[in-house]
Amino acid sequence: LRVMADLVLQYMSMADRLPEALKQNTYQLRKCFTSFASQGKRTLQQQQLYNELDTVIDDADERRNLREGVFGRILQCTQEAVIVPPFIGLAIRTKPGVWEYVRVNASNLSIEKLTVPEYLQLKECLVDEGWANNDFALELDLEPFNASFPCMKRPSSIGNGFQFLSRNLASRLGHDGESMQPLLDFLQERNHHGEKLMVTQRINTVPKLQEALIKAEDILSTLQKDTLYEEFAHRFQDLGLEKGWGDNAHHALDTIHLLLGILQAPDHITLQKFLGKIPTIFSVVIFSPHGYFGQADVLGLPDTGGQVVYILDQVKALEEELLLKIRQQGLEITPQILVVTRLIPEAQGTKCNQRIEKVLNTQHSKILRVPFKTEKGVLHRWVSRFDVWPYLEKFTEDASNEIVDQLHGKPDLIIGNYSDGNMVASLVASKLGIIQCNIAHALEKTKYAGSDLYWKIFDEKYHFSCQFTADILAMNHADFIITSTYQEIAGSKDTVGQYESHEAFTLPGEYRVVSGIDVFDPKFNIVSPGADMSIYFPYTEKQKRLTSFHESIEEQLFSTDQTDVHVGYLSDKKKPIIFSMARLDKVKNMTGLVEWFGMNSRLRMLVNLVVIAGFIDPSKSKDREEVAEIEKMHSLTKKYNLNGQFRWICAQTDRVRNGEFYRYIADTKGAFIQPALYEAFGLTVIEAMTCGLPTFATCKGGPAEIIIDGVSGFHIDPNNGYEATEKIANFFQKCKTDPNFWNVVSDAGLQRIYESYTWKIYAEKLINLTALYGFWKYISKRGRRETRRYMEMFYILKYRDLVKNVPVVKDEGFETLEQN
């Protein structure tokens, strides 16, 4: 009976189990809830709830009972509590993407389930009761639009929309005789600048297609595998087949077999393979408006980090893959990839004022720079990514005209990057009717606690009201979204994902998001990046090592010169070095790392600390957050008297040299430390591991997924500096007694990279996704037209108004249009 009862309990919602919990421990829970409510309005996070519980229940046995009982299980799933006395609202997350909301009345312990808007209203009472009780507060609810759309159910399938959608498509195609027709229509539409590919209009029914394919199969099976397409092209044309099937008999037969298989009995694997083979994509536009987007001298500048590295590597890998595919299709078409960014006349010595620049190590890819303009003229200086909103509409208009000119037509795929790029991608994709892929890199909402509810406090500095609105618009507009990790979409068992945090939130005074995005939507796919392996390779590959850099690296590390490019010094050169490199943003927590190091004398005895970050002279920075961090870094150096054990080097912009820098640190048997308060993905983690450097990285965000703790590296908790530095110190202590331990961790890190984080795997996946989602969009005809129309309305009625609150740069920031 007991087992049965437990089973029933397991399948009950948490809200339904709460009465049982209250019955089990009425006395103790009355004390807890009274205590929660006693300090007035506030929010409490899970750890704070545990802390209060521990304080209120002083008997250890009672405490244990409570923690181990039903209430303990509910608390384990509670992400936050909103206290509006006498009510306590609980946001309970039972699984990734699965939420329940309840309200407990502390005075009589009555319980009530809440809907999403009811919970959000309770939350709004913390900042604006008038708004919370306004019956006409604007609500954004996308749920009704998605009701008829296929949706996944299991948290483990989140981020694998490709598999789900291809199964769905295969079963649709196999439904009845008629249902295969859209596949034929799709093939008939294949063309390049109007030149027909695959099938002619003559083949206008599925039986005719089948007949032609069987005849083609007969022809090809009599030929040598390597017979070139040109030799059987005329026979294909007689059958109504155009080029695109393959460059030789072997490849063409392969494609034909796949299609014949689908026509006979469709299955998702054959469908995936077939769509991945046929010509669907020749030109790609990648938007990345903000920052300094350049190939040299830009890394480490404010707002200029992993996104730039990611895109340049992505372009290279994508072009290689497109060239291979197009060649195998037997086509003589040049693929084109355009990275579209902003042109910055005041380029600080970079090439960001150059309109067109070839992407290095590619044959046909370019960067196209289009300036930000207003009616005052061209904006000639850099602006923070938080301030770009007023310039984007005009940028979109100018950029789309230039793109069509450059490509002599429309691209086949548009990829957006970060909030601004995704917003622009949505506008252009909608205007040109093209498939759109989004890449967030980092959604800011989860980085800043309370940035939604307390948005008014943040707005002057960060303009999150614009950014979060742009994010919601773009994620709903995209045909598919790729992420670097699972956590980016749906977090983990205990933490909320970046996209998941956009399911329900509120910006009091502006609007309430009742259903913003569904993480079970098959548009989500995990496609992880890698590191350029020609730059980042293991320290053990001696012949490839760039030893010519060693002298200058040693100068940087070990000279005692105090300049505006490096300060501090290392008195014991024999110690291993723990190294970190990042932009000098607050959330990167470089100052946190320096402080932890300062406080742990055991670690200071064992290793030296080297940090590469930002400017050393605050007067050189134009970024408000960076200036504060620079000053903090100087004061920590003094406070903990770090001279002799700490070296701070300014941002390093040469990737090739940086690769050797990681390896040099590996030579000292050191480690890489990534201490961020939150890291969306963390390319430096991948780079360090690819160089064979043992890595300790934050458990908050992407690195938690990249590294298997204790195997391929280590997790550190940025909110527990002492524990983090002890973990690092223990590692080095152990390496002293067992030097092989260092090699074991280094090898396991490399192993992890080769299995899951390479650009080759990435490019193949991205092309297959484009083909599948393109086909899906085509056969579902309307795409998600209803959602898009709703988003357009929201854009016009809400987003544009919010943008008006963001100031444009003052007059001296402009050049007149005539000058340009």
Place of tokens 């807890």: 32
Q: What single-letter amino acid sits at 622? A: K
Query: The tokens of 309 are what?
Result: 């590295």
759 Cβ neighbours under 8 A, 6+ residues apart:
313, 314, 316, 317, 529, 530, 532, 533
Q: Are 290 and 385 in contact (CB under 8 A)?
A: yes
Under rule CB under 6 A, how many of the chain's residues touch ligand LCN?
12
Rounded to a whole number of angstroms, the minimum distance from the CB of residue 625 to ligand LCN is 14
Q: With CB cut-offs between 5 and 8 Å by kind, which of ligand UDP, ligand LCN, none does residue 299 bind?
A: ligand UDP
Residue type, 181: Q
Give CA angle at 556 (555, 561), nearest 5°: 80
CB 162 within 8 A of CB 769: yes
Given strand 608-612, what is the order of strands in its sheet? 566-570, 645-649, 608-612, 577-581, 671-674, 695-698, 714-716
For residue 442, give the nearest of 295, 303, 614, 302 by alpha carbon: 303
Does residue 444 belong to the site contacting ligand UDP (CB under 6 A)?
Answer: no
The nearer residue to ligand UDP, 292 or 520, going by C-beta atoms, is 292
Contact 475, 517 (CB under 8 A): yes
Q: Is residue 291 close enough to count as binding ligand LCN by CB under 6 A? A: no
| Of the candidate residues 164, 287, 310, 757, the single one contacting ligand LCN (CB under 6 A) | 310
Candidate segments 128-136, 463-471, 561-569, 578-586, binder of ligand UDP by CB under 6 A: 578-586
Q: Which does 14 bind (CB under 5 to 8 A by kind): ligand LCN, ligand UDP, none?
A: none
Q: Does 298 bind ligand LCN (CB under 6 A)?
A: no
Cβ-based nearer residue to ligand UDP, 610 or 683: 683
Among 568, 682, 774, 813, contact with ligand LCN (rule: CB under 6 A): 682
Please report how close the Cβ of residue 583 comes to ligand LCN at its closest, in angstroms: 9
Q: Which does 658 bind (CB under 5 to 8 A by kind): ligand UDP, ligand LCN, none?
A: ligand UDP
Do residues 588 and 678 lie in contact, with contact meaning Cβ atoms separated by under 8 Å?
no
**Interface residue with ligand LCN, options 28, 78, 307, 446 (CB under 6 A):** 307
Q: Which of residues 121-140 bind ligand UDP (CB under 6 A)?
A: none
Report how many residues bind ligand UDP under the rule CB under 6 A. 19
Q: Which is nearer to ligand LCN, 412 or 705 (CB)?
A: 705
In sequence order, what DSSP letters do the residues of 738-771 get, joined into one string? -THHHHHHHHHHHHHHHHH--HHHHHHHHHHHHH
Neighbours of 144 (CB within 10 A): 11
Binding mask 627-666 for ligand UDP (x = CB under 6 A): ------------------------xx--x--x--------
Residues from 449 through 468 that contact ligand LCN (CB under 6 A): none
Our CB check for ligand LCN shows the closer of 471 and 679 to be 679
Q: Calculate the alpha carbon distances from 657 to 16, 547, 616 in Å.
A: 59, 10, 20
| Residue 673 binds ligand UDP (CB under 6 A) | no
Q: Exactly one of 146, 188, 272, 307 binds ligand UDP (CB under 6 A); which one?
A: 307
- Using the minimum distance from each CB to ligand LCN, give the nearer residue, 488 or 503: 488
Please say which residue, 155 or 306, places its beta carbon nearer to ligand LCN: 306
Please name which of 649, 653, 663, 671 lies closest in space to residue 557, comparing C-alpha atoms. Answer: 649
593 binds ligand UDP (CB under 6 A): no
DSSP state of 806: S
* DSSP helix/strand/coil, 330: coil
Selected from 452, 471, 660, 679, the binder of ligand LCN by CB under 6 A is 679
- Closest separation in Å from C-beta 679 to ligand LCN: 5
Give the torsion through C-alpha atoms of 246, 248, 253, 259, to 10 deg: 0
Measured CA to CA, the distance from residue 417 to residue 423 in angstroms comes to 9
Is position 706 an interface residue for ligand LCN (rule: CB under 6 A)?
Answer: no
Cβ closest to ligand UDP, residue 341 vs residue 396: 341
Candidates 270-278, 330-338, 351-359, 576-584; binding stretch for ligand UDP (CB under 6 A): 576-584
Name the residue whose CB lies closest to ligand UDP: 305
Taking the C-alpha atoms of residue 632 and residue 591, their distance in angstroms, rounded to an integer, is 7
From residue 743, alpha-carbon distances to 220, 540, 690 in Å are 53, 11, 14
In whole angstroms, give the CA distance from residue 12 to residue 7.
9
**Among positions 388, 687, 698, 700, the unique one binding ligand UDP when judged by CB under 6 A:** 687
- Judged by CB, which is closer to ligand LCN: 495, or 733? 495
Residues in CB range of 717: below 8 A, 6 or more apart: 698, 699, 700, 723, 724
CB of 651 to ligand UDP, least distance (A): 3
Question: Which of 203, 209, 262, 299 is in the footprint of ligand UDP by CB under 6 A?
Answer: 299
Burial label, 570 (beta-carbon count in 10 A; 0-12, 13-18, 19+): buried
Stretch near ligand UDP under the rule CB under 6 A, chosen from 28-36, 240-248, 297-305, 761-769: 297-305
- The pair of structure tokens assigned to 495 is 């933490």
Residue 684 binds to ligand UDP (criterion: CB under 6 A): yes
State which of residues 312, 612, 729, 753 lies at the interface with ligand UDP (CB under 6 A). Answer: 612
Residue 344, C-beta contacts closer than 8 angstroms, at least 6 positions apart: 292, 350, 352, 353, 369, 371, 380, 381, 382
Among 279, 305, 670, 694, contact with ligand UDP (rule: CB under 6 A): 305
Buried b (16+ CB within 10 A) or exposed e, 774-812: bbbbbbeeebbeebbebbeebbeebbeebbeebebbeee
Of positions 282, 464, 681, 799, contacts ligand LCN by CB under 6 A: 681
Binds 313: which of ligand LCN, ligand UDP, none (CB < 5-8 Å by kind): none
Q: Give the nearer residue to ligand LCN in terms of CB position, either 294 or 682.
A: 682
First CA to last CA distance, the chain: 81
**Closest distance of CB 711 from ligand UDP, Å:** 21
Q: Which residues contact 814 (CB under 8 A, 6 or more apart)?
A: 374, 376, 377, 378, 379, 380
DSSP-assigned states of every residue in 415-446: EEEHHHHHHHHHHHHHHHT-EEEEE-S--GGG
Strands of 413-571, DSSP E:
413-417, 435-439, 480-483, 505-507, 511-515, 524-526, 566-570
Q: Least distance in Å: CB of 314 to ligand UDP? A: 13
Under 8 Å CB-to-CB from 440, ≥6 apart: which residues? Answer: 418, 419, 422, 471, 475, 481, 483, 488, 498, 499, 680
Segment 414-453, which members bind ligand LCN (CB under 6 A)?
Answer: 441-442
**Binder among 90, 256, 262, 309 for ligand UDP (CB under 6 A):** 309
- Nearest approach, Cβ of 444 to ligand LCN (angstroms)? 10
**Binds 581: which of ligand LCN, ligand UDP, none (CB < 5-8 Å by kind):** ligand UDP
Distance CA 437, CA 286 (A): 9
**For ligand UDP, which stretch binds (CB under 6 A), given 116-124, 240-248, 304-312, 566-574?**
304-312
Indicate which single residue of 83, 582, 606, 673 sits in contact with ligand UDP (rule: CB under 6 A): 582
CB of 215 to ligand LCN, least distance (A): 49
The residue (of 276 and 305) whose beta carbon lies closer to ligand UDP is 305
Using CB under 6 A as the binding rule, the residues of this chain from 480 to 539 that contact ligand LCN are 484
Interface residues with ligand LCN (CB under 6 A) are 306-307, 310, 441-442, 484, 679-683, 702
Residues that bind ligand UDP (CB under 6 A): 299-300, 305-307, 309, 581-583, 612, 651-652, 655, 658, 681-684, 687
